[in-house]
A and B are shown apart, each in its own frame.
Chain A
Amino acid sequence: MTRNILLAGFGGQGILFAGKVMAYAGLIEEKEISWLPSYGPEMRGGTANCSVCISDDPIGSPLVLKPDILVAMNLPSYDKFINEAAPGATVVVDSTLVEKRTERTDINVFYVPATKLANENGLKGLANIICVGKLLKETGFASYDAVEAAIRKCVPAKKAAMVDFNLNALKLGMDN
């Protein structure tokens, strides 16, 4: 089985970090994985996106064009990718920042007010991990334990205090 994941949003929303957490969870479960960021002008204020593949087999193309898991954290990303999602895809949209609703009926879209939830729960800047939590609940892309371990691995030692906030955001996403 191969999961082709695309995460997209503004630079600064932690898109690449969220992708890294998902990739690390795959690594911990001994899967084949790849993580490919957009780089360049997008990162300086425009849209940032990140392709993650988690697979039982060696990965060919690491570039995800037809995601079966999509996270859209802002309107430009939603507009760009919602029609690219593969039929049957699981999509998480940050509905605090995206007011649109898709007319597609062949994909499972979850509108999560991630930014609002983060702000209201003292988790400012962690809307990304709330989205990962929602994905975890809806797709089971990895076990909870693997994602928790991945967060502990990905949060740099200098910011160790952020681990608990990330875990709270993960749980919040799973509950919403």
Chain B
Amino acid sequence: MAERFLMKGNEALAEAAIMAGCRHYFGYPITPQTEIAAYMAKRMPKIGGTFLQAESEIAAINMVLGAASAGVRVLTSSSSPGISLKTEGLSYIAGSDLPCVIIDVQRGGPGLGGIQPSQADYWQATRALGHGDYFAIVYAPNSVQEMVNVVFDAFDNADTYRVPVMILSDGMLGQMMEPVSFPEREAKVLDKPWAACGHKNERKHNIINSLYLQPQELEKTVVDRFKRYEIIKEKLASAENYLTEDADIVVVAYGASSRIVKSAVNAARAKGIKAGMIRPITLWPFPVNAIADAAKTAKRFLCVEMSMGQMIDDVRLALNGAAPVDFFGRTGGIIPSPAEVLEQIEKLAE
């Protein structure tokens, strides 16, 4: 067995990013994600990388845009209000077809909200990570080990598809420590002929740009990008099925709340209730097929989130009326208890 370390989710994300070949980090402190920046501040100078604490989130994301333009693997991280500030730059990054990875360690909102764990940024991450017609790939790990695994996928897929990739974490997953082992996986090195990294007069210069004043030209860039999105949808949508094969009630949950739901599903099984869970690992693309397939046997669905109900929209779209969907959530920084979720499952089983 590979050596297991005890690490906070935030630290594991940072170490995995370095292992995946990231040598540039730009950020600005905010609870509960600051350990990522602190880890990078310690490590980057020792490995010839760049750690820079910018004067604001907006400055940091624009530094990401610059580094990504030069073709290097680059990371930024923040928490909910800070992500809102970064969305302008993210939209420019998407419009310029640049790869980068951005981590959101969610806290309660809206506004400055609170600093406790939340999942209230689902809509922002999957629908509105900035203005304009675009998506970002969104991963939602639910353990410290899975964080490590998705960081590699995030950097690889950002480069492959030239899109921003978000890792949507939260205060609970970021602050908790769990055993983690690091895979023996090489950072994938992709040739980036589009990068603006100096041409020594040996080729035509590359232009990184998101401004197109001719609508025909702009439409073409958007349509081309959406063709890539179709490939992404087909290849990357991912979910974990837990005890769904014979389940009457399927609970859908991601990230931190899926940990609570797993305990509740186990408790329901102990009481003889046929409950199971589908856990989306990618939120965009949403694992539509996993949900639709479960509807062939399950009678009811229950969506559990640390919000007032955001992912439930995608669950409903995936089900397309095939089964009724109920919702249970806590918000504002409250983590639901397994007992509360069990109560909801029991109500549906009656």
Chain A residues with a Cβ under 8 A of chain B: 20, 23-24, 27, 32-37, 39-40, 59-63, 65
User: Are B266's CB and A60's CB within 8 A?
Assistant: yes
29 intermolecular pairs with C-beta atoms under 8 Å apart:
A20-B177, A23-B6, A24-B6, A27-B4, A32-B179, A33-B179, A35-B178, A36-B175, A36-B177, A39-B32, A39-B115, A39-B171, A39-B175, A40-B116, A59-B178, A60-B260, A60-B261, A60-B262, A60-B263, A60-B264, A61-B259, A61-B260, A61-B262, A61-B337, A62-B176, A62-B178, A63-B172, A63-B335, A63-B337
Chain B residues with a Cβ under 8 A of chain A: 4, 6, 31-32, 114-116, 171-172, 175-179, 259-264, 266, 335, 337-339
User: Are B6's CB and A61's CB within 8 A?
Assistant: no
Which A residues touch B175, using CB under 8 A? 36-37, 39
Which B residues touch A33, using CB under 8 A? 6, 178-179
| Cα distance, A20 to B6, chains bound together (Å) | 9
| Cα distance, A86 to B264, chains bound together (Å) | 17
User: Are B260's CB and A34's CB within 8 A?
Assistant: no
Tell which of B115, B177, B179 has the most Cβ of chain A within 10 Å: B177
Which B residues touch A40, using CB under 8 A? 31-32, 114-116
| Cα distance, A20 to B175, chains bound together (Å) | 13
Which B residues touch A63, using CB under 8 A? 172, 260, 335, 337
Which B residues touch A60, using CB under 8 A? 259-264, 266, 338
Query: Which residue of the partner chain, among A32, A35, A61, A65, contacts B177 with CB atoms under 8 Å?
Result: A35
| Least distance between A23 CB and chain B CB atoms (Å) | 6
User: Are B178's CB and A34's CB within 8 A?
Assistant: yes
User: Are A36's CB and B176's CB within 8 A?
Assistant: yes
Q: How many A-B residue pairs have CB under 8 A?
A: 61
Q: What is the interface of chain A mostly: helix, strand, loop, or mixed?
A: mixed
| Cα distance, A37 to B8, chains bound together (Å) | 10
User: Are A62's CB and B259's CB within 8 A?
Assistant: yes
User: Are B176's CB and A61's CB within 8 A?
Assistant: no
Query: Given A27-B4, A62-B178, list of 16 further CB < 8 A pairs?
Result: A23-B177, A24-B6, A32-B179, A36-B172, A37-B175, A37-B176, A39-B115, A39-B175, A59-B178, A60-B262, A60-B264, A61-B338, A63-B260, A63-B335, A63-B337, A65-B339
Query: Which residue of the partner chain, among A27, A37, A39, contacts B179 with CB atoms under 8 Å?
Result: A27
Query: What 5 A-B pairs are tightest by C-beta distance, nearest first?
Result: A60-B263, A60-B262, A35-B177, A61-B263, A36-B176
User: Are B115's CB and A35's CB within 8 A?
Assistant: no
| Cα distance, A61 to B176, chains bound together (Å) | 11
| Least distance between A12 CB and chain B CB atoms (Å) | 18
| Cα distance, A32 to B338, chains bound together (Å) | 19
Which chain A residue has the least Cβ–Cβ distance from B4? A27
| Least distance between A52 CB and chain B CB atoms (Å) | 9
| Least distance between A68 CB and chain B CB atoms (Å) | 15
User: Are B179's CB and A65's CB within 8 A?
Assistant: no
| Cα distance, A8 to B178, chains bound together (Å) | 20
Which chain A residue has the least Cβ–Cβ distance from B171? A39
Which B residues touch A34, using CB under 8 A? 176-178
| Cα distance, A62 to B179, chains bound together (Å) | 13
| Cα distance, A35 to B12, chains bound together (Å) | 14
| Cα distance, A37 to B263, chains bound together (Å) | 19
Which B residues touch A39, using CB under 8 A? 31-32, 115, 171, 175
Which A residues touch B4, using CB under 8 A? 27
Which A residues touch B179, using CB under 8 A? 27, 32-33
